[in-house]
Amino acid sequence: MRLRIAVIAGLVVVGLAACDRNTPQESQRERDQTRDQTSDERMRQAGRSAYDAAQKAQDAAQELSRQVERAGKEARQGWDDAKREHDQQPKKQ
């Protein structure tokens, strides 16, 4: 959604700059500034997106860690249950 707004804002800025009837040197300078600003906005948005993705990956890794820990505890309980049952069985001679 933010990317869409940034693109639309960039297009509006470029459109307004194109409508301005300045000298060729001033026009070129303004186009360069607009292009630089649009590029900066895109880089900031890319940085924000990368940060959001990293946060989501960190959250997913933490949840996976909790799931693995729970699975380990369940496996250990299963092992202990089986050992207890085995120890309670009468021994054959």
Average pLDDT, the chain: 83
**Is 27 a domain residue?**
yes
Instruction: Check pLDDT > 60 for residue 1.
Output: yes
Asked if residue 3 lies in contact with residue 44, where contact means CB atoms within 8 angstroms, the answer is: no
SS3 content of the chain, % helix, strand, coil (to 5): 90, 0, 10
**Is 70 a domain residue?**
yes
Cα 12 to chain centroid, rounded? 28
Instruction: Check pLDDT > 90 for residue 71.
Output: yes
Nearest to 27 by CA among 38, 18, 35: 18
Instruction: Check pLDDT > 70 for residue 17.
Output: no
Tokens found for residue 46: 């890319």
Residues 6+ apart with CB under 8 A from 91: none
**Is 93 a domain residue?**
no
- pTM assigned to the model: 0.48
Q: How many other C-beta atoms are found inside a 10 Å radius of the C-beta of residue 87?
A: 8
Number of domains the chain contains: 1
Under the banding of pLDDT at 50, 70 and 90, the label for residue 22 is low
Residue 79 belongs to what domain range? Answer: 2-85
**Is 19 a domain residue?**
yes
Per-residue model confidence (pLDDT) at position 68: 96
**Is 16 a domain residue?**
yes
